[in-house]
Copies of this chain bind each other. A is one copy, B any other.
Amino acid sequence: MHAALLRQQLAAFLSPAELPDDDAPFLLDQRKRYTSTDCVVVQPASVENVKKTVRFCAQHRIAITPQGGNTGLVGGSVAHGGIVLNLGKLNRIRHINLADNAITVDAGCILQNVQTAAAEHGRFFPLSLASEGSCQIGGNIACNAGGLNVLRYGTMRDLVLGLEVVLPNGELVSHLHPLHKNTTGYELKHLFIGSEGTLGIITGATLKLFAPPQTTETAWVGLDNVQAAISLLSNIKNHFAERLCSFELVSRFALELSAAHSRLAEPLHAEWHILLELTDSLPRHDLQDELAEFLCQNGGEHSIIAQNDQQRRDLWTLRENISAAQRTLGTSIKHDIAVPIAHTAAFIEQCGRDLTAQYPDIQLVVFGHLGDGSLHYNTFFPNELGDSVYRREEAVNATVYRHVLHNHGTIAAEHGIGTLKKSWLPQVRTADEIALMRAIKSQLDPNHLFNPNKLLPD
């Protein structure tokens, strides 16, 4: 159906506010790599109107691309034809249940607003990531978002108690009452989590809340090599247990870039750096001394512990600004990968050596969440201008992913598959697994109208 006609028909049951005049913010993805074409953007303001829209589309065989905050990095919510169904107007905090430590929210709630709502009730919602000011809970769930607190609290998958989903047939599946134990048939909730909008539209979710941290200790540790970081991680985790909230790896080069960009001094000089943070729900004045003593006894003596909030913020600024700082190097070919922690050192060493041999001019910016084995492994080519770097993408990916798979890792740790990586899926899943995924897709969405051409290979 032609976009103008489609818009006119949608206006029969959607209000003008649900059909935004300015489509532009919804059509270009965050990395400016993908542009949606020939589609109508709708923003239903109620679950009922999501259902109506889905039924209308099912009846007329119109494709639906669900979209949250449009902060994805793999082209997961780009549309060619049909509608982009943006959840942004479905943004109520529905209910907080303190007995069950649970919050029920609309899918279009911005992550930061959920964090704030929890805090207002004396609770803590731990998902935290760079785009938390604009990404939406529904997108976080659809992509199984990760971020900075996975080590202690898990990924988004671990934080979901219940889901409300509009299926491609327009029916609602709603399990929003918090059940901490439930084994009644196959666990379908976990199919929707991470399905990137291909199986249904998440319209609401019940999420776990936690006790807020009362004590925070932050340290920056310099180490000679990644293996030393792995040993430190293993020991600190077995000593401080779930208090270990973050354990971030930063290469020397990444730190240099970020320090210059942030106009901050490098906290210390070393080949590899760790930013680690302990939190405790109880006020613990002795935690800093314990951490200092532990670091001295476990190879972390080349370190500093933040003595006040300003120092803590500065250390985090150095970590968080790496993404922005690296842009001075040009356009990058990025990799969102994870390997077993035990394999991280081998992967970084082998893959770095191989890429440098292939591309003598390559610049590697390596950093990430070592605490859960996931790395942002970004490659830059100073001799390539702008997007011309992408002509190297296929070959660079082939090398990086070969080393990832050799080290039993994954090509998609926390950003999903989307458009960008779907041709790689057969490398990481068996034919039986992909056949099962296709059967699940066909059962729920026989006409393949939901987020077409994403995730599953053609």
Contact = CB atoms under 8 A, between A and B. Distances in A.
Interface stretch (A10-18, A176-184, A252-260, A384-392): A176-184
Given A187-B157, A187-B190, A432-B169, A97 B179 contact: no
Interface in A186-228: 186-188, 190-191, 193-195, 199, 210-212
Given A436-B188, A440-B186, A100 B341 contact: yes
A443 B97 CA distance: 39
A374 B98 contact: no
Interface residues of A, number: 91
Contacts of A434: 185
Interface string A235-249: 001111111000000
Contacts of A157: 187
A119 B339 CA distance: 25
Contact of A342 (B99, B181, B194, B282): B99
A90 interface: no
A301 interface: no
A281 B239 contact: yes
B432 A173 contact: yes
A122 to B, nearest CB: 7
Given A173-B433, A340-B100, A183 B413 contact: yes
A338 interface: yes
Given A171-B430, A186-B195, A179 B338 contact: yes
A78 to B, nearest CB: 18
A429 interface: yes
Contact of A193 (B187, B230, B429): B187
Residue in A98, A100, A155 with the greatest tally of chain B CB atoms within 10 Å: A100
Contacts of A442: 439
Interface stretch (A45-53, A142-150, A327-335, A359-367): A142-150
Given A181-B374, A181-B414, A187-B193, 10 more contacts: A101-B238, A144-B187, A173-B430, A179-B340, A179-B409, A180-B341, A184-B429, A210-B241, A212-B238, A436-B444
Interface of A: 97-102, 122-123, 143-144, 146, 150, 155, 157-158, 167, 169, 171, 173, 177-188, 190-191, 193-195, 199, 210-212, 230-231, 233-234, 237-243, 280-282, 290, 338-342, 369, 372-374, 408-417, 425, 428-430, 432-437, 439-440, 442-444, 455-456
